[in-house]
Structure 1
Amino acid sequence: MLKNSIIDEKLTKSDKIFEIIKDVIIICIGLMISSFGTALFYQAGMGSSAMATFSDGLHLLLNISYGTANMTANLAFLMVLFICDRRMINIGTVLCVFMIGIFVDLGNTVFGLLPIATAHVFIRFICMLVGCTMMGIGLALYVAVDRGFGALEGLVKYLCAKTSISFDKVKIGQDLLLLSLGILLHASWGIGTFISAITIGPIMKVFIVKFQKVLKKQ
């Protein structure tokens, strides 16, 4: 009996390790899809995401580099999330911090090989829409795993739980707020900025449900 219980315990531990590894891989795939979407969106030259617009405004206000402004904003939002609900901070949060920048740079390298920036405006518009869709799908995949969230997604989940407002509406509200603050701080923006603000949330809502069903079956 004791021997069997030890074997069962070992199997349980190995199963847990396997689950963590599987979740990490899925999260990384989601972040890569989202980051490649961000890169494609950027290459289209029709604006940037709400968070990027806010970071651009912050960099102008504080006279610091864009990268430093983006990191400062993310750390500030992460601190707010930690204060609100530290349970939302997990391995997915760490992966967001370290992997998104790497994947975006990789995506820019790949899409930079294509003549997107000099293409006809219609082609650039299509690329922007595809980029938005990729961002929404990728973010939905990593959120569906439920092993921690990035600062922005975590705050959306927290507000959803506290207010019972649907995910897409809170996400749209968050993006419009960041967008408005960025514009007030004289950040650059374009039509894609507004389109991303009102489409990424609904796309995420649809695909989070779909991905959760698939992940539960596994």
Structure 2
Amino acid sequence: MAAEDPALLNLDPLQQLRAGRMPLRLAQLVVGLVIFGASIAIVLRSGLGMAPWDVLHVGLSHHLPLSIGSVSILVGMIVLLLWIPLRQWPGLGTVLNIFVVGTALDATLALLPESLDGWGWRVAALVGGVVLNGVAGAMYIGSQLGPGPRDGLMTSLSELTGRSVGVVRTVIEVTVLALGWLLGGPVGLGTLVYAFGVGPVVQVFLPRFTIRLTRPAA
């Protein structure tokens, strides 16, 4: 997910740790990641489709002896390995993103009913899940402790190829979506709602959750 805010600083992993306000930033990061994982579970239970990467995770879970959250963690680790040839270093938030989101996803799925009865509940779950996802994304981005592994891959490939982040993100997510669909992942109305809805939600909430920092001295 890509969003811009003038208070967001382009910090390397060491600068992220030295920029101050760590208790607040770490708490916001973890809470944001937990909500992010929970929101994915809510959207899944709507049965109306999911975001491209989540379609892939669900599709893979049909073919692997792993839970959806465990697949999310595994894919995140593989994506992080792709950072190595791109000469990118993960931040604390990048690493926590991999493990906290997947764990929160599985925990929330265990608490929710297997399916929702009635279109009203399903649409409410979809819309509510997407809104929560956007709010959570704004929270972990605003902590300024490093991008998620998938976001970092997109921005790194953008820098490497000279293409815009939008173009690179579209190519990656269409590819991921197609692969997930072929593996049996849920594609539907929710996929479109997520694609067009989560960005504006992040844009609205990111200024509210961006923790103002001062760039540490070299």
Q: Tell me whether the two structures share a fold, i.e. TM-score over 0.5.
A: yes
The answer to whether 1:21 aligns with 2:23 is yes
Change (3 A) 1:180 1:44: same
Q: Larger helix proportion, structure 1 or 2?
A: 1
Matched, 1:207 2:196: no
Deviations 1:127-151 (A, max 9, x none): 1011011112212211122212221
Partner residue, 1:82? 84
Q: Deviations over 1:173-206 (max 9, x none)?
A: 5433321221234434332133223332443344
Cα 1:83–1:210 change in 2 (3 A) is farther
The corresponding residue for 2:150 is 152
For 1:7, the equivalent position in structure 2 comes to: none
- Asked if residue 100 in structure 1 is aligned to residue 101 in structure 2, the reply is yes
CA contact (8 A) 2:73 2:99 kept: no
Q: Distance in 2 between matches of 1:150 and 1:181?
A: 21
Aligned residue in 2 for 1:177: 175
In 2 relative to 1, CA 73–108 (structure 1 residues): closer, same or farther, beyond 3 Å? closer
Q: Distance in 1 between matches of 2:202 and 2:83?
A: 20
* TM-score normalised by the chain length of structure 2: 0.72
2:143 partner amino acid: V
Runs of 4+ in structure 1 off by over 6 angstroms are none
What TM-score do you get using the length of structure 1 for normalisation?
A: 0.72
Q: Distance in 2 between matches of 1:172 and 1:204?
A: 18
Match of 1:165 in 2: 164
Distance 1:161 1:198, change over 3 A: farther
1:119 Cα deviation from its structure 2 partner: 2.9
Change (3 A) 1:164 1:210: farther
May I ask how many residue pairs the two structures share in their alignment? 195
Name the residue aligned to 1:11: none
Contact 2:88 2:156 in 1 (8 A): no
Instruction: Give a deviation string over 1:120-174, Cα, whole Å, max 9, x none.
Output: 202211210110111122122111222122211222343565657366x755554
The residue that corresponds to 1:64 in the other structure is 64
Contact 1:55 / 1:66 at 8 angstroms: preserved in 2?
no
> Does the Cα contact within 8 Å between 1:27 and 1:145 map onto a contact in 2?
yes
Tell me, yes or no, if the aligned pair for 1:78 and 1:150 is still in contact at 8 Å.
no
Corresponding residue of 1:121: 119
Supply the distance in 2 between the matched residues of 1:69 and 1:50 (Cα, whole angstroms).
14
Aligned mates of 1:205, 1:193 — CA distance in 2: 19
Encode CA deviations 1:20-78: one digit per residue, 9 max, x unaligned.
22211110111122122112112222223321211344455xx4234464444222211
Greater RCO (CA < 8 Å, at least 6 residues apart):
2
Q: Secondary structure at the match of 2:153?
A: helix
Distance 2:21 2:198 in 1: 28
**2-structure distance, mates of 1:23, 1:99:** 15
Q: Which has the larger radius of gyration?
A: 1
Q: CA deviation at 1:110?
A: 4.4
